[in-house]
Structure 1
């Protein structure tokens, strides 16, 4: 080994070896500088990105609570610590519903120039069908189609034979939407005779986008001239262009009106409640047997309850087996009437408050209602307030539900007991009409509190914790967030905020204040908004 080294040194000059060593040292030093520079570059990127995120959080908090950071109308800390007004919102006066049609929008396409006739078969109960009708108008606008008065569901669980004209004012519906779409009562006989085939029938996927309707549905409509969409409930995407969302509001809050005869009976109920008390609470108990069976929850009725609800549950073949206790801990179970009473009492409502119970057949009847009546003795229903006036409505569940809808809408406080269709529709309407107090139980947190209250929690602690967990479930304006929940419950495109003499929708605030890089960090709403802009020319 030593001999080989001597030979190597004798063959290669020493200065060459030293030169290689110097080159190696220079390369090693350069490599160190390269890695050091790379680390500094990465740290700079991280710092830049986190700075954007922090500023985004600060910006978003301003958009979410503009009355706190922009106008100084109310200090959030004070509101959080202080007692909430249980009868009305103190900030509602700064917000108002705004869905007026803008003058630059194109007029409705006439029947003769439209792309064809759109027939709609709705599905479910009254308010599920209401959602379907609202979305049907928007789809007709997207497709440039003439809408036929929608067909109501006669085959659902409730077996109600009511037609559109029995629930809604047809002439008002047609005239109020005349600038947006053309609506007719039926396809003209002349057109039917000229059609080679009957209307094509199809069912679109749930929450389909305008892009889907333009690419998949419109070609069929153009080819067949008439198209029927079946089971039409929640068949349109939740997030749409702002103008289409405003059209949803114009349909839901203005075009869909009950007939005068039904409004008169509903207002009579309201007047009789007002005669008993200047302000009252409407509670949508939603404690009917079908609701409890569908939820898979258990309320302590033993084998009798389990057998009865299991038989009803078999009507829905696709429902999976559920763990009742697990559903309750996840907040999926409606509160019992007694639990609703405990929540109201803990929030601060006195036992002399007047309650209107909006409900169908309550499971367990008077026995189930008794604990609630012990807490709030002044309880009334439409059966107690009406006599012969109610008889024409009795065979029709949708018409009875319409009366409850009117009273709940007019009440000072509306309490929902599940996140069903009536709860969503009325919550959104009450926001639009001035953010009237609307309470949705925070069932997930309340379930554990009810358990603790039954064991060792004193009433003062229980009431304090109930008020705390209900803070963001009282129908306050600041609960509105862009993209939160179902649009029918949170109609953010149709709620305007008054500020310094001007008025701007929450959605306009969102996009006008959005930082230019915000889309780059993956905001889904912005991406959907930009995607829909590509299709505006078809319906705006």
Structure 2
């Protein structure tokens, strides 16, 4: 049978094209996970592993200072205490205010008060940053999860009597992490007299987040803080899609990314201005870039910033780490109108909080309650690679691990065994 040379040549060319295509796919999508990144002789690459209080173990790695294994934590509230008063006809009302970094603590206080008094907890509303701005709880958080998580602890009413929720209630101010003694002496007398009241949590800015508390007495507050507040479905799916986008851009680091809490408006605040270079509490974009490069992160590393909208001052960071993004760059286009086009930026705060919680590394550009709250959530998830920039000259990432983690000094450690 005669052989058509044209057919043979066509087959050879087709086969060659498949080989070339296969090599391209291997080079672009497989090799980055198999081949080490080029290592400069003057850069040290380490990973962190916190094994025991006060001890940090270094593990050599070719991909930068990524923690390979996080410490898993077991909650101490697996079987909450059952003692307490029976449910009464009284209600405890409260609102979630000031942003997501405050919500878990406000909820923990409300649960502690309602449990001690045997009262019913009214589903809270969420107050925005502007006067009069208010959202329903279900616009941000999963109502069913909230009620389910507190089942057997306190009774939750999604629809308390309108005459109560819309009326003027006596208000009692309680300190963060309110004690049983405070409730008994300051809150209970008002509750016995009025049967319904609203509590407002106040925060002492000078208070340090300590871990030395009674774990048995603290069980209900821990459960409330770490189990009750989950994002509602649409917002959770949006945040997860943004995380997926960042991970898809992070092939050279095996899908890992750094979340940096860096907001330009924060850098101009008094707490940032009044610090000298040796004890600087805030870092700008350029300083964050120098810090991350100094401790060994490769320039291909993907970085998420909490800044809303791109600011020219961020260019210094992107010059070093080109894969630096704010939320506007990675949010799906069809979701922007719903979650981003708002003057209050309320949804964005919850997106940032979640992104900083799940990022493989968290770096706060300044010390704040946001930083402390993110640390607490990450401890609960066993995601403890949290690096605190400083003016040190050392290039070992282990020297910058947050004291909350290195010394196990964060309050969250009292909730996990």
Match of 1:399 in 2: 347
Match of 1:202 in 2: 172
Give the 3 Å change call, closer, same or farther, for CA 186–234 of structure 1 in structure 2.
Answer: farther
Asked whether 1:294 is paired with 2:302, we answer: no
Match of 1:285 in 2: 261
* CA-to-aligned-CA distance 1:443-483 (integer Å, 9 cap, x gap): 4xx1xx5xxxxxxxxxxxx4xx143783442875x531xxx
Q: Using the alignment, how far apart are the partners of 2:258 and 2:362 within structure 1?
A: 5
Give the 3 Å change call, closer, same or farther, for CA 361–126 of structure 1 in structure 2.
Answer: farther
Q: Per the alignment, in what secondary structure is the counterpart of residue 65 of structure 2?
A: coil
* CA-to-aligned-CA distance 1:372-409 (integer Å, 9 cap, x gap): 01110111222111212122112142311222223222
* CA-to-aligned-CA distance 1:137-193 (integer Å, 9 cap, x gap): 223223332211223223x3698543322111122211210111111124336x859
Match of 2:396 in 1: 467
Match of 2:18 in 1: none
Q: Per the alignment, in what secondary structure is the counterpart of residue 231 of structure 2?
A: coil
Larger radius of gyration: 1
Shift of 1:232: 4.7
Q: Give runs of aligned pairs for residues 451-466 of structure 1, distance below 5 A.
A: 462=393, 465-466=394-395
The answer for unaligned runs of 5 or more in structure 1 is: 1-64, 70-75, 299-323, 450-461, 496-504, 506-540
Taking structure 1 as the reference length, the TM-score comes to 0.59
Q: Using the alignment, how far apart are the partners of 1:208 and 1:110 within structure 2?
A: 21
Backbone CA RMSD of aligned residues: 3.4
**Aligned to 1:98, which of 66, 75, 79?**
75
Asked whether 1:170 is paired with 2:118, we answer: no
Which is further off, 264-273 or 136-145?
A: 136-145
Q: Using the alignment, how far apart are the partners of 1:66 and 1:382 within structure 2?
A: 34
Taking structure 2 as the reference length, the TM-score comes to 0.74
**Aligned to 1:492, which of 398, 407, 413?**
413
Higher-helix-fraction structure: 1
* CA-to-aligned-CA distance 1:260-298 (integer Å, 9 cap, x gap): 011111111111112212323333333232x23433434
Q: Per the alignment, in what secondary structure is the counterpart of residue 96 of structure 1?
A: coil
Q: Using the alignment, how far apart are the partners of 1:371 and 1:294 within structure 2?
A: 21
Q: Using the alignment, how far apart are the partners of 2:144 and 2:194 within structure 1?
A: 28
Q: Using the alignment, how far apart are the partners of 1:417 and 1:335 within structure 2?
A: 5
Asked whether 1:182 is paired with 2:131, we answer: no
Give the 3 Å change call, closer, same or farther, for CA 209–164 of structure 1 in structure 2.
Answer: same
Q: Give runs of aligned pairs for residues 316-465 of structure 1, distance below 5 A.
A: 324-326=274-276, 329-332=278-281, 334-360=282-308, 365-366=311-312, 368-386=313-331, 387-394=333-340, 395=342, 396-441=344-389, 443=390, 446=391, 449=392, 462=393, 465=394
Q: Using the alignment, how far apart are the partners of 2:152 and 2:304 within structure 1?
A: 38
Give the 3 Å change call, closer, same or farther, for CA 172–67 of structure 1 in structure 2.
Answer: closer
**Aligned to 2:196, which of 226, 237, 246?**
226
Q: Per the alignment, in what secondary structure is the counterpart of residue 82 of structure 2?
A: coil
Q: How many correspondences in the alignment? A: 356
Match of 1:501 in 2: none
Higher-strand-fraction structure: 2
Q: Using the alignment, how far apart are the partners of 1:159 and 1:343 within structure 2?
A: 41
* CA-to-aligned-CA distance 1:395-443 (integer Å, 9 cap, x gap): 14231122222322222212122232332222122122123422222x4
Q: Using the alignment, how far apart are the partners of 1:338 and 1:163 within structure 2?
A: 40
The answer for unaligned runs of 5 or more in structure 2 is: 1-49
